[in-house]
Chains A and B, each alone.
Chain A
Amino acid sequence: MQRLMSLGILAPALMALAAPTQAQTVFVSTQLRPIEEATVVRQELLKDAGQVDYVVEEPPQFAVRMEAERQAGKRTVSLVGALHGELSPLADNDTLEPLDDLAKKLAADGMPQSVLDLGKLGKPTQQYIPWMQATYVMAAKKEALQYLPAGADVNALSYDQLIDWGKALQEATGQPQIGFPAGPKGLMARYFQGYFYPSFTGGVVRTFQNADAAAGWEKLKALWAYVTPNSTNYDFMQEPLAAGEVMVAWDHIARLKNAISATPDDYVVFPAPAGPKGRGYMPVLAGLAIPKGAPDKDGAIKVIEHLTTPDVQLLTAARVGFFPTLNVDLPPDLDPGVALLAGGVTATQAAKDAVISLLPVGLGDKGGEFNKVYMDSFQRIVLQNEPVAAVLKEESAVLAKLMTDTKAPCWAPDASSDGPCPVQ
């Protein structure tokens, strides 16, 4: 610990000494953080974008840094790259430069207006430029397919079929073979908000404790009998998939990519299962924004223009597995693993029963506590086997308070609301 701390003190000092004197555009990103991905960004994606200093920051530290710079009144960051939900509190503080000219240009270059409009974050002006997108899919080892229940199509699974599949896999191998990223850094909360709740209830907040939700939780408990108990330790499903600990997994495409790219012939990628209300799915959108008072606004605009050219967008897909926001076709010589993931994404988006669930908006810095409501419910109902109705009633009170405190209006798939989204 002490070593880490002294390193932490030393490193910036050394970097300050070593930093070249010419002006650099500081680009802080919460995306593409792992060292391999950050290296791709620095050496390939930003190669011809001028002098850019690409800095990665974990989402909580990102929020703290932006807030600290705002309060200090002195910006060091010229460009930020972050998820839709992470940019939303910055837009709420009115700290982002409007980017309407850029948006107009990109619309003319073929960025779909529906995607661009998400970058307004409910405001009259363009707050961020959509940078790249992703979603969550399921992946399975090909050898698991032989245990699919009769008549089941892997691209149109229902929860009942997934349960039967898990049961057959457990009987054949002696161990539960389905895995979820329910570890401390896993994205399990997004499963509940984007997949479980929309599929079973057609909503996320309004329907939190209704009868459909209770029935859904009972179904999840039935499924969990065939889910490996190590799931509460998994953060990235590519690791247990590659290690052979699980055969079927749900996760973010960027967190499955390493396993699938390493041996693409071993895997199939397919949409998450459908519940009674459809096949919920959550698109993930990362955007680029310029903070007000940025030291190098012109440089930042150049970087945004560079990153949204068709070539760089395709390169991004090929190298890091995030897909273009521009309307461009993926090239045929794409990395086979990424192509497999792209097929899963297309199958999800094209599913007849697809129910889009957007990332939460308007929660400000309460996004973490919003996730906690779903994860606490999961821990109590599924892991600790507490009665469903009682847990949902208690947690819905917490959720309702969060909604009234933040005054966040409903977002899709919940029906829109005047004022804070009600929990019914």
Chain B
Amino acid sequence: MSQNRPWIPYVLILPSVAFLALLFLVPLVQTIWLSMSDNGVPSLANAQRMAGDLNFTRSLKNTFLLTLAVVPVQLAIALAMGTMVGKIGRGRETILWIWTIPLGISDLAAGLVWLAILQNSGYFNSLLYGLGIIERQTSWLSYQTPVALFLAIAVAEIWRGTAIVMVIIVAGLNQVPKEFREAAEIFGAGPWVRFWRITLPLIRPALQSALILRTVLAFEVFSVVYALGGRNFPVLVGEAYNWQNQNQNYGVAAAYAVLIMVVSLAATVVYLRAIKVDPERLP
């Protein structure tokens, strides 16, 4: 049919392309212009203001450290979860359903849940007090306890964001043909060899998608950090928010937004190069 009327596919994708162009490309161009101009004249003043700011280096460092700490752990946990659930027959759906609960909660709500656990009068302190480990309220989220604060944010992020990785990995694992594994078993390959030599290479496309998605989201981390760390743990998106909302300097906020986009794009390119996917296996 499409050979008779070759324009049909284009007409069908036109609405989505127009929609994206209108609601994505136009604001993108506007944001880039906002960040690169000063009173309507091209200028690097906003970028300089951003780079010279007190919290710029800290927020850059915090964002990268958090990404480095969170993404590999999430990937490992998601792989473990996906493999485990593959062995389960009855009740598989229920377990998957429970595991994906964090996906249904908004970022900020997740942050507030962890705040209720970790704040001075929170559940964690109550537990430690009940066990006789601490004598009085201890703060875990203050500027005087940067390691505890970092760990708290990392744990909250891992709790919140692992499910999305797992969903993609489980979908990938479902596509691995059973015959490969059975053949390997017959040739005497143990579970580890099967995992490293068969499963992992075959789920490369899923791994690539999961890593790109999760890393980009990690660079955009904000709500959980804002709820738990506030002023004590600046991250890039948080600084963009502060410049936009509190300082009302839209130029510097736009400079942060552009920086986050560049970092995310760079990470995506790195993954696309590092995890080569056989074109035959692309959908």
Contact = CB atoms under 8 A, between A and B. Distances in A.
Nearest to A175: B136
Nearest to B105: A3
Contacts of A184: 226, 230-231, 242, 246
Interface string B237-260: 000001011111100000000000
Contacts of B121: 243-245
A233 B141 contact: yes
A244 B125 CA distance: 14
B54 to A, nearest CB: 5
Nearest to A233: B230
Interface in B127-167: 135-137, 139, 141-145
Interface residues on B, range: 20 to 34
B249 A379 contact: no
Contact of A60 (B135, B139, B141, B245): B245
Given A183-B230, A230-B142, A233-B142, A371 B120 contact: no
Contacts of B62: none
Interface in A340-372: 365-369, 371-372
B48 interface: no
A174 interface: yes
A232 B136 CA distance: 20
Residue of A3, A228, A232, A245 with highest tally of chain B CB at under 10 A: A232
Contact of A3 (B106, B137, B248): B106
A1 interface: yes
A182 interface: yes
A376 interface: yes
Nearest to B104: A3
A369 B244 CA distance: 11
Contacts of A182: 231
Contact of A372 (B107, B226, B245, B247): B247
A60 B245 CA distance: 6
B248 A367 contact: yes
Nearest to B249: A369
Interface-central residue, A232, A233, A366, A371, by most chain B CB under 10 Å: A233
B232 interface: yes
A179 to B, nearest CB: 11
A74 interface: no
Contact of A232 (B54, B120, B142): B142
B144 A229 contact: yes
Contact of B139 (A229, A369, A371, A376): A229
The 6 A-B residue pairs with the shortest CB-CB distance in the complex, in nearest-first order: A229-B142, A368-B247, A229-B144, A368-B248, A184-B230, A368-B246
Interface of A: 1, 3-4, 60, 63, 174-175, 182-184, 228-230, 232-233, 243-245, 365-369, 371-372, 376, 379-380, 383
